[in-house]
Structure 1
Amino acid sequence: MDPWVWWLIAAVGLGIPLVLTAMPEFGMFAVGAVVAAVAAALGGGTVTQVLVFVIVSVALIAVVRPIAARHREQRPQLASGIDALRGRQAVVLERVDGNGGRIKLAGEIWSARTLDADQVCDVGQQVDVVEIDGATAVVI
């Protein structure tokens, strides 16, 4: 059997763990094996084939992994649940002070208290939600 066929078999063999484990390094090794198969088909010797495999695989890992890691870190973080309510504005429905009150937040009525115990928010006033403490919105 020709050497390029063995390289293609190796590429498929490296592609299987890529699919099963979702480790992109296996894919980079598989690409290196495909390029080595091309080198073998063009008549490159065994040393050339192995060097091509190693150089392409290492280059892909050295270049692609940092780029992928950078993109993974830059994904927008979508806030959900109570995290999505922090920083939103609400309307006071019942006087809110350090002991409690009611606000309309995101279309729902919430119990609320002020962050500063001495602060008072009157009906109709716009307030900002600082945090959610259990089922109570803490506002300023």
Structure 2
Amino acid sequence: MEIDAWVWWLIAAVGLAIPLVLTAMPEFGMLSAGAVAGAVVAALGGGVVAQVLVFAAVSVALIVVVRSIAGRQRAGRPQFTSGVDALKGRQAVVVERVDGTGGRIKLAGEIWSARALDADIIFEAGRQVDVVEIDGATAIVM
């Protein structure tokens, strides 16, 4: 008893789908879809060369298209910042006079030690300042 070519293509499709599930690498899914396309060609009576060409063309086309779409999605998504990186660029209110040597600000609902970026500038209590950088537990403001 001889197994038809389309059955072998479906076995290959399942075989390629297993690593897709185990590794979460979408490329295996594209190859599996290509194997299904090869099975369709085989079931319609296409020769071995046609089956392999359809498998390769569908697999490569899916990989190229899906990767380009995924790349655009990743590039368009804003980056999420957390921790002290999320505090850079935020505004704060001076609680105690801030100069080049120190002071206190209220930043994101918390009291932070702070110092002025320019040692010659003094910020009085109640003034809004911009956080330029976080140096340890001290906010550098301007």
Which whole-Å CA distance do the structure 1 matches of 2:54 and 2:112 have between them? 64
- Listed one character per residue, the Cα deviations across residues 98-128 of structure 1 (whole Å, up to 9, x for unaligned) are 0000000000000000000001000100001
1:130 to 122, 129, 132: 132
Say which SS state the counterpart of residue 39 (structure 2) adopts. helix
Q: 64-73 or 11-20: which moved more?
A: 64-73
Residue 91 (structure 1) aligns with: 93
Moved over 4 A (4+): none
Q: Distance in 2 between matches of 1:58 and 1:107?
A: 52
Separation in 2, partners of 1:80, 1:62: 33
Which residue, 101, 104, 113 being the options, matches 1:102? 104
Q: 1:49 aligns with which of 25, 41, 51?
A: 51
Deviates more, 1:39-48 or 1:119-128: 39-48
| Alignment of structure 1 residues 15-94 onto 2, 5 Å | 15-94=17-96
Structure 2 length-normalised TM? 0.92
User: Displacement, 1:95?
Assistant: 0.3
CA distance in 2 between counterparts of 1:42 and 1:68 reads 33
In the alignment, the residues of structure 1 paired with residue 40 and residue 137 of structure 2 have an alpha-carbon distance, to the nearest angstrom, of 64
Tell me by how many angstroms 1:67 deviates. Answer: 2.6
TM-score of the aligned structures, taking structure 1 as reference length: 0.93
Shift of 1:30: 0.7
- Letter aligned with residue 103 of structure 1: I
Between the aligned partners of 2:136 and 2:58, the Cα distance in structure 1 is 54
Please provide the CA RMSD for this pair: 1.3
Unpaired segments ≥5 residues, structure 1: none
Runs of 5+ unmatched residues, structure 2: none
Query: What is the aligned partner in structure 1 of residue 13 from structure 2?
Result: 11
